[in-house]
Amino acid sequence: MKITLNLATMPGARARYALAWTVPTIVIGVAALVLLSVAGARNFREYRAVRRSVAELQQVEAQVREQEMALRRDLERPQLRDMYRQTQFVNALIGRKQFSVSGLFEKVTPLLPAEVRLSGLTLTHAGKDLEVRFAVVGSSEEAVEKFLANLEDSRDFADVAILNQGFAQEGAEHEPVSISCSARYLGVSPP
């Protein structure tokens, strides 16, 4: 007689449940593995690109450093060192410049009426201030007086004083009128 024994146990609900989820779990795991592999490959390519660009930048930096050293060697030559020192001296003088004649003319020109012309301009140091002396010639007394009024009203000039005046004589209609005056220039402080 032959006795057969079946030692296998009946699968329970848990075993059947685990068996049912095995295939989807394997599919999800394989998909996750593929996604991680793709992401890893992309990161590796980006890493190589960044490493290549860093290497290029290091080469450029080395070239720039070599050029800088060559320029420094050139600047260390005595002729260029003297020229550099002289250039610094000239730049310092330009930096200390505080008065511009063209700037003064830009401020005086709008003050002149059309009938008045500037025939002389003198600039002197009066203590710590700059004094400007004007000599103007106009076609009429009103035009010259208009210039004086403009000069007094200007924010760039103060203490206007008439030094000399030459008005047309009685009966001479077309004779020019001249005047000399001085004013303190407030546009800039003297050096």
Query: Which of 75, 79, 182 is closest to 125 using CA atoms?
Result: 182
* Mean pLDDT of the 161-167 span: 81
Share of the chain above pLDDT 90, in %: 26
pTM for the structure as a whole: 0.47
pLDDT-based confidence at residue 97 (cuts at 50, 70, 90): low
- Letter for the amino acid at 121? L
Q: Is the pLDDT of residue 171 over 60?
A: no
d(CA 108, CA 102): 10
Residue 6's SS3 state is: coil
Give residue 170's pLDDT.
Answer: 61
103-120: pLDDT as tens digits: 888 888 898 888 889 888
